[in-house]
Structure 1
Amino acid sequence: MKTSAYKYIVLFGGLGLTIACSTKKDNFVNRNYHALTTKYNVMYNGNNALTAGVADLKTTLTDNYWEVLPVERMQRPVEEMEPTDKRNANFERAETKATKAIQKHSMYIGGSERNPQMDEAHLLLGQSRYYDNRFVPALEAFNYVLYKYPGSSRIDEVKVWREKTNIRLDNDGVAIKNLNQLLKEKGSSMDEQIYSDANAILAQAYIKTAVTDSAVYVLKKAALTSKDNEKKARYNFILGQLYTQLKQPDSAFASYQTVIDMNRKSPRIYVIQSHAMQAGQFDYKKGDTLAFMEKYRDLLKDRENRPFLDVINHQVGLFYDKQELNEKAIEYYNKSLRKKSADKYLTASNYRNIAEIKFEEAKYVNAGKYYDSTMVYMDFRTREYKRIKKKKDNLADVIKYEAIARNNDSILHIMSLPEAARVTYFEEYIVKLKEQEEILRKKMEAEAKKQAAIAENAAKEQNSLGGDDGNLFKNGSDLSGVKRGGGGSNDFSSLSGGRSKGGDSGFKAGATGSAGAAGAVGGGGAPGTFYFYNPSTLAAGKQTFKSRWGSRQLTDNWRVASEMRNNAPAADEDAASTDDVADGGKNADGKTADKKEKTIEPKYTTEFYLTQLPKDQKVLDSLAKDRNFAYYQLGTIYKEKFKEYERAADKLEKLLQNNPEERLVLPSMYNLYKIYEIIDPAKAQVYKDKVLSQYPDSRYAEIIKNPTSDAVAQGSPEAIYASLFKRYEAGEIRELIEPLDQYIETYTGEEIASKYDFLKAKVTGRLKGLDEYKKALNYVALTYPNSYEGKQADEILKKDVPVLEKLVFGAKPTSYKIMFKLDANDPKIKPLTEKILQFIKDGNNNSITLSNDLYNETENILVIHGLINRLAAVDAVSILKDYKSYKVAETPVIISTEDYKVVQIKKNYVQYLAIQ
């Protein structure tokens, strides 16, 4: 009986469930079944996926605190994602769940939806698409809710999400209008968090449209009404940024302080960045520096701030930088760099600030390296990147000329000293060199001891944990003869057959810090603590060995090999001497030996340096000339490119004191006049008087007397170059040689000089051929490597010149020409030209033309073009010679079009005649 009842219950229950699963019947069971299934199954999982996705965004995406933060975080669009970036799978899962809820549980019957969960399903669908950066489908989902479910309990939230989507689609005007209308109609009657979100997204629209004051007004409302502490902290931080834009520092400071006062209620990153923003407002001259540093010391000590030490150390570095305490500033910038920040611009700022310090200290090579590192972490599309790149490129010239000036100055100074003074100079230098090497040696030994101590402590910790397994040697091993830790008594005599007990075997434990390592070997330490496994102790040991023994070849009897090579007759004596040294300076009786190693490194002798000094006066004159030109270049670079006027004046003053060539005197005086106009008007007047009195007819004097005159404008380097270039384009090639040489001499050392030299290279190529063109280009590329012309010359040398060099006679002809080579001023050119033109006219052939082509500095070539084959060219020559209308007496030469190109490029007319 019971079995039959169960059968009926199961049967009718299954039938009821089948009926309830239908989405076409509008009854109580169906509605509630689909509503409950949607809410507690599909929608529950979908909402969880969406929440997880938003949480991932907050934890994984890095904000750019150097700009105004967006109100909400979003993952990057597909086109902006890096190859290693992955899309957030949670949003795709949320969309899948929302779609499933709609497809399987929607009950659209009789023109209305009977499942009360469908508005939330469409809202979830829109939200998941929104976070996945698919804004048009998201907008479609939100509009569907507004159209189909106007009475939904979540209609206000849907309207806010729709306007968020409109802002993403750049429909900012529409979003502002709709949000203002919503807030006006509903106001505070809305749910408090939705009201906050509406104001926040309205603020985002105002920020996008640059209406900052309106953005501040509505964002304050959002911050006050938000129940979410993360959002409240973010809104207040953005308020601080907006107040900074509005130049209201007090209000900005207060907004940042609000975030700081939230303490653990706020994500820690907002607190730290708020401290950093407040530091940006600090007055480093008048502010309370003691209070500032006390605050930052506390921040550095706080364990909670360890993930943000990059930001904190950067701010401390900035503080010391502003105080002009360069060493401390660099120390903290480096600490910030060691944290390996995810903020690329922060890393770039650290490198840039160190580069600026190095530049100010005239350490140009180091500055250049730091500028290189700066650009690695910067967006190459930004204006700052281009400015730094230009400065780095300019710095290449500074490094080059500073090195020339410094080296040549040193050599010339030494050569100006008497012989005895030179010897004294190098003796003092050698003493300093030894002191520096001793300091370096001690520093390396100290570091080695430190590393050995760390290794020993690590070994002890491992032993204390009861772990001998895996050790290289264990307690009670056969190596018990090796002494354990405790100072300089440790040695490897039991392993290497050392010659004396307690002596220095060459691996002096006390000197290299290997005592701990040796103890670890005998006492069950980890393999990594063995002497030769520790890079620091090994490096220090090598340095100690080298300082004691010098550079020795890896041979048998290495201790005596060097002495035997240097003094063969005294081999036995030297061997004994060096053995004594190897035994720690003790002889067989244990007494200290007086003998010392006889070999001395060349760098510790004065002869090593004296023999390298130049003796030839021509060489010294060349050094002085290069030094003077370097000083001039440095002066103009500092003045024009870096605006470092005091440094520029110093270089030019030194130049004038060094009796420079005449061509550098006038431009140096004029540049000093222009520099001192800015920094010292009294000195400017001195140099103005010098230019006007000593060079009254010069271009510089004309500029000083009447800087706005037409004559000066027409006589400017740029105007002169423009006129010369026009003449070049017009074919006045020979006429440019003399003026180009003149202006190159006039503008030597000025930035525009590269343009004149490059134009001269082109003229040289046209007149003298490929070989001379190549030499001229090479000069431009080497002399002006960082100018546009220098780079262009280098590119031509690499790409075009090799192609031209491969051109040879004998290429397959496409057409032919007839040449008549004559002196450029030969009176025969005119009648010959008239006869050929008459020949062309009589032939009534429009494809045949005549040109008077420049060949070299003195000769031209009259060329008849357009002859289709060699036979046609032979016929034309015959007609010109034999017909009484022409009777041309000059010797014609038939040549293919391809070979004529070779003749003009390589200027090898004679060679062509030789092969005909």
Structure 2
Amino acid sequence: MIYRFVKIFSSGFSIGAILLFLASCSQYSTRPGAITFHNITSRYNAYFIAEQELAEAEFLLQQAYKDDYNQLLPILYPMDSIASGAVKPQLSNAIEKASIVAERHQNSKWLDNSYIVLGKARLYLGQWADGLEALRFVFANGKDEDDKNDALVLLMRAYIIKEDYSNALGVAEYLSQQPLKKEARLQFYLIKAYLHQNNGEYLTSVAILENTFPLLKKSPETARIHFAAGQMYDLLGQYALANQHYKSVGKNSPSYDLNFYSSMNSLQNRVFLNPDIDLSTVGFDKMLKDRKNEDLKDKIYFTMGLLAEHKDNIPEAISYLGKSAALGNKNPTQKAYTYLHLARINYESLEKFEISKAYYDSALVLLPQGILDYQIVSDRKRALDGFVTQYNIVTKEDSLQRLAKLSSTALDSKLDDIIEAREKARIEEEKRQKAILQASTVVSPVVPSSLPAVAGERRWELYDPNLIEKGKLEFKRQWGNRPLEDDWRRSGKTSTASLAGAASAPQNATPEKAVDDKLVKGSEEWEQVKAVLLKNVPLTDEQWLVSEQAKEEALYQLGKIYRFDLKEDKKAISTFERILQEYPESKHKEELYYLMFLSYGAESAQGLAWKQKLTTAFPHSTYARLVSDKTENGADNNALKNPQVAYENSYQLYARGEYDTALKDIEQNLPAYKGGAFEDKFALLRLFLIGKVRGKEDYTQAISEFLQLYPQSIYLERVKEMQELASGSFGRL
């Protein structure tokens, strides 16, 4: 009996002790036993698992990330929510486990660490608001200064990714005054260097990295950072310093590709440092013979092409770049860069604009949309589309007008020469096409007909230039060399293609001959072709006037493309000057004065001279008001008050649909708002109104002017979006 009582009592005492112990382990308790319990439980359960899941996710992301060595490598790997989708299970699990600490272990010393893991995982998933809130919570409520600094370092990185550089710099300034642990100091230096790299401040970035390298351990990651430092020194023109870092890449266990590209950049810098060196002695031949570089030969030839261009050997550069393109099937991104350089050389050095446009077209298809150059290439390709059209019109009309100035005998002889040259070119082209069909079976996609065909994998027929060439050949044999236009089969329809010179001739509706069936001079068919050519020559006053009008308008459009799209002010100025010289009474005269003012710059002597011409010759024009320092009624701009009221009045006119009145009001008084806080706001409203009243051409030009005149405007991103929409389908706003 006594034994049973003792047993019951002991059992009850044990249960009570356990309950008492658990009660004392509340997450809000400040007792040492409770704190110890929650420290151990949170550290070796929830936090440990969360930390491991996050580490695994970061490792997998780094393994999956593909560096583009033709671009400046970011010092830190990006936090890309799209790429993070592949590791969402790990990140979600990290969030779940880290949240357990926040929910059940409030008195644990691992609470701050768990919030940091939680914030970082959310940043990877693109949950920026929640991620930033978790990090700010640690800074505001954290109990450990080291944890607070770790949270701030990560917060600084998040601000950089979101391009909030002012806040990032503010955090950096605070952290620079804090006593950081070695690991936190290392991360801070790397993120600070990353901040200046993103801002294009490469000198500051590499200066920070120079102080960071002693803290880094030997690793592939350190090799990657050395490569980024070398690239930034290259951009600064410090090739010797760059080569020191490229040499350090090989000492830090790099991947084969990273080591290869480092060697390539180093060899390239040897040529920059010693321009007289022969490319054959640099070491490229040895790299080409190395079988490990079989898949990287395209990059070797690409670099040799760049160096040949640097030495002003354009034919050799084109030859090397052509070899790079021919080997680029396994690396479409590299092939895209090769096409870009071929496009640039053909545009800048050779002025072969149609070939340049074809290369830009192909590069744009192969180029990854995420890279920094993509939008630049896209804009240039779009500009060249219009440029080639207008340039061909000018070239054609110049050629036709030169023919019109010849005597009848000289003209007849010249037309014979053109037909003969055309026949020779036709036969050579068809022979080339037949050779392509016989030499290869399948080629790479999206290669213009002017580019070399490359053997490769099977593609869809419409992406197969081999089949396209075959189709063109069959078409030409049956229908002739016809332009791309509607109703091309209508009988008697002639073409107005370019007469660029003696070696070229306009296309026409006369059927082409087979390779072995050459046109005979003096034959009926020959005379028919000559008649078609002669029909395009402006021999009458009426035809000459039409030709002059077409050339003037094409020159006007060409000059604006140079000015606003290609950003080539010198060529724009020479084009505008040509219009004013050849067409002194041009209908675009007042706008040309304004464009000359913009092209020279408002602060230059030439710009001020054109401003004076504009305000003197056209004092009441819209363009004069845009450059004037006074309003239309002569009052000084500074005398106008209440820009807010003026803006509201103009906006009310816009809202009521009185677009013409609102536009006239803004353009008359826009000079009054110069230098004020409302200037770009009025200019933005003017864009909307021009879109309503004047149509696409004036609208796109006004957008380009806004981007030029207000590069710091808070509305800049919105205007860029408007520009993208305008470049596609244009509709009323």
| TM-score interval (norm. to shorter) | 0.5 to 0.7
Partner AA of 1:231 in structure 2: E
- The residue type equivalent to 2:219 in the other structure is N
Out of 378, 389, 395, the position equivalent to 1:396 is 389
Residue 121 of structure 2 corresponds to residue 125 of structure 1: no
Is the alpha carbon distance of 1:618 and 1:436 closer, same or farther for their aligned partners in structure 2, counting shifts above 3 Å? closer
How does 1:149-164 map onto structure 2 within 5 Å?
150=144, 156=146, 159-164=149-154
Secondary structure of the residue that 1:620 maps to in structure 2? coil
| Residue matched to 2:309 | 321
Aligned ranges for residues 463-482 of structure 1 at < 5 Å?
Answer: none
Residue 398 of structure 1: how far off its partner (Å): 0.9
Secondary structure of 2:438's partner?
helix
- CA distance in structure 1 between the partners assigned to 2:203 and 2:98 by the alignment: 39
Q: Separation in 1 of the partners of 2:384 and 2:478?
A: 43
Contact 1:219 1:239 in 2 (8 A): yes
Q: CA 1:220/1:95 → structure 2, altered by over 3 Å: closer, same or farther?
A: same
Aligned partner of 1:45 in structure 2 is 49
Give secondary structure in 1 for the equivalent of 2:314.
coil
2:364 is equivalent to residue 445 of structure 1: no
Q: Which residue in 2 is equivalent to 1:99?
A: 99
2:247 pairs with one of 238, 252, 257: 257
5 Å-filtered alignment, 1:108-119, equals 113=108
Match of 1:416, SS state, is helix
Task: Note the C-alpha offset of 1:74.
Answer: 3.3
Aligned to 1:229: 219
Show the counterpart of 1:818. none
Given residue 53 of structure 1, which amino acid in structure 2 is its aligned partner?
A
Q: 1:310 to 1:54 in 2, by over 3 A?
A: farther
Partners of 2:469 and 2:168 in 1: CA distance: 67
Amino acid at match of 1:253: N
Residue-by-residue CA offset, 1:154-179 (whole Å, 9 max, x unaligned): x7466334333245342533444434
Aligned counterparts of 2:432 and 2:111: Cα–Cα separation in 1: 79
Distance (whole Å) between structure 1 residues aligned to residue 413 and residue 204 of structure 2: 81
Residue of structure 2 in register with 1:361 after alignment: 350
The alignment status of 1:611 with 2:508, answered yes or no, reads no
Match in the other structure for 2:500? none
Measure, in 1, the Cα distance between the counterparts of 2:203 and 2:70.
20
Instruction: Return the offset for 1:233.
Output: 1.9
Relative to structure 1, the CA distance from residue 416 to residue 178 in structure 2 (aligned partners, 3 Å threshold; closer, same or farther) is same
**Following the alignment from structure 2 to structure 1, what is the Cα–Cα distance between the partners of residues 251 and 555?**
53
CA contact (8 A) 1:196 1:222 kept: yes
| 1:287 aligned partner | 275
Checking the alignment, whether the CA contact within 8 Å between 1:404 and 1:626 is kept in structure 2 is no
- The match for 1:266 is 254
The answer to whether structure 1 residue 405 and structure 2 residue 398 are counterparts is: yes
What CA deviation, in whole Å up to 9, does each residue of 1:425-482 have, x standing for no partner? Answer: 756764664454344334422335x99xxxxxxxxxxxxxxxxxxxxxxxxxxxxxxx
Q: Is the CA contact 1:102–1:121 (under 8 Å) kept in the aligned structure 2?
A: yes
Instruction: Name the CA distance, whole Å, in 1 between partners of 2:547 and 2:432.
Output: 34
Instruction: Name the aligned partner's letter for residue 92 of structure 1.
Output: S
Residue deviations 1:391-445, cap 9 Å, x none?
6544432122213334665788796359799778756764664454344334422
CA change 1:347–1:128 in 2 (3 A) is same
> What is the CA–CA distance in structure 2 between the aligned matches of 1:536 and 1:244, rounded to whole Å?
38
Residues 1:136 and 2:132 are matched in the alignment: yes
Instruction: Return the alpha-carbon distance in structure 1 between the equivalents of residues 237 and 537 of structure 2.
Output: 64
Aligned AA for 1:354? A
Indicate whether 1:178 and 2:167 are aligned: no
Amino acid at match of 1:319: L
Closer, same or farther: CA 390–42 of 1 in aligned 2, 3 Å: same
Tell me, what secondary structure is at the counterpart of 1:182?
coil
Specify the code of the residue in structure 2 equivalent to 1:232.
Answer: T
Task: Note the C-alpha offset of 1:277.
Answer: 4.9
For 1:786-797, what aligned pairs fall within 5 Å after superposition? none
Instruction: Please say if residues 176 and 202 of structure 1, whose CA atoms lie closer than 8 Å, have aligned partners that are also in contact.
Output: no
Deviation at 1:75, TM superposition (A): 1.7
Q: 1:362 to 1:630 in 2, by over 3 A?
A: farther
Aligned to 1:76, what secondary structure does the other structure show?
coil
Q: Distance in 2 between matches of 1:85 and 1:76?
A: 9
Distance 1:386 1:544, change over 3 A: closer
Q: 1:293 to 1:406 in 2, by over 3 A?
A: farther
What code does the residue aligned with 1:366 have?
A: I
Query: What are structure 1's unaligned runs of at least 5 residues?
Result: 1-7, 452-527, 553-597, 656-661, 669-706, 729-761, 763-788, 798-916
Q: Which residue of 2 aligns with 1:871?
A: none
Structure 2 CA distance for partners of 1:256 and 1:333, relative to 1, 3 Å: same
Alpha-carbon distance in 2 for matches of 1:176, 1:715: 48
Please give the alpha-carbon distance, in whole angstroms, between the structure 2 residues aligned to 1:284 and 1:92. 50
Q: Distance in 2 between matches of 1:720 and 1:85?
A: 63
Letter in 2 for 1:367: S
Deviations 1:598-640 (A, max 9, x none): 9996956732131243478995346667777788888996898
Residue 74 of structure 1 pairs with residue 78 of structure 2: yes
Correspondence 1:371-520 to 2 at 5 A = 371=360, 393-406=386-399, 416-417=409-410, 430=423, 433-434=426-427, 436-447=429-440
What SS class does the counterpart of residue 136 from structure 1 fall into? helix
In the TM superposition, what is the alpha-carbon distance from 1:52 to its structure 2 partner? 2.0
Q: State the Cα deviation string for residues 202-255 of structure 1 (Å, max 9, x = none).
A: 544666788866654543343222236133123323433554566644323312
- What is the CA–CA distance in structure 2 between the aligned matches of 1:68 and 1:542, rounded to whole Å? 42
- State which of 351, 354, 366 in structure 1 corresponds to 2:340: 351
Counterpart code for 2:175 = N
1:886-901 maps to which residues of 2 (within 5 A)? none
Query: Does structure 1 conserve the Cα–Cα contact (< 8 Å) formed by 2:298 and 2:325?
Result: no
Identity between Structure 1 and Structure 2 (%): 14
Displacement after TM superposition at 1:96 (Å): 0.9
Distance in 2 of aligned mates of 1:260 and 1:431 = 55
Q: Does the aligned pair in 1 maintain the 2:220–2:255 contact within 8 Å? A: yes
Identify if the C-alpha distance between structure 1 residues 240 and 46 changes in structure 2 by more than 3 Å, giving closer, same or farther. Answer: same
**Cα RMSD (Å):** 6.2
Among candidates 148, 155, 159, match of residue 165 of structure 1? 155
| 1:620 corresponds to 2:539 | yes
Residues 99 and 228 (structure 1 numbering): CA distance in 2 closer, same or farther, change over 3 Å?
farther
What residue in structure 2 maps to residue 334 of structure 1? 325
The 1:400/1:618 distance shift into structure 2, 3 A limit, reads: closer
Give 1:181 shift.
2.9
Q: 1:353 to 1:175 in 2, by over 3 A?
A: same
* Residue type of the alignment partner of 1:96: E
Cα distance in 2, alignment partners of residues 75 and 163 from structure 1:
15
In structure 2, runs of 5+ residues without a counterpart are: 1-7, 160-166, 444-457, 480-513, 587-604, 626-659, 661-689, 699-733
Preserved CA contact (<8 Å) 1:398 1:634:
yes
In the TM superposition, 1:749-828 aligns within 5 A as none
Give the aligned length.
526
Change (3 A) 1:181 1:429: closer
**Aligned partner letter, 1:254:** Q
C-alpha separation between the residues in 1 aligned to 2:465 and 2:363? Answer: 30
DSSP-derived class of the 1:168 partner: helix
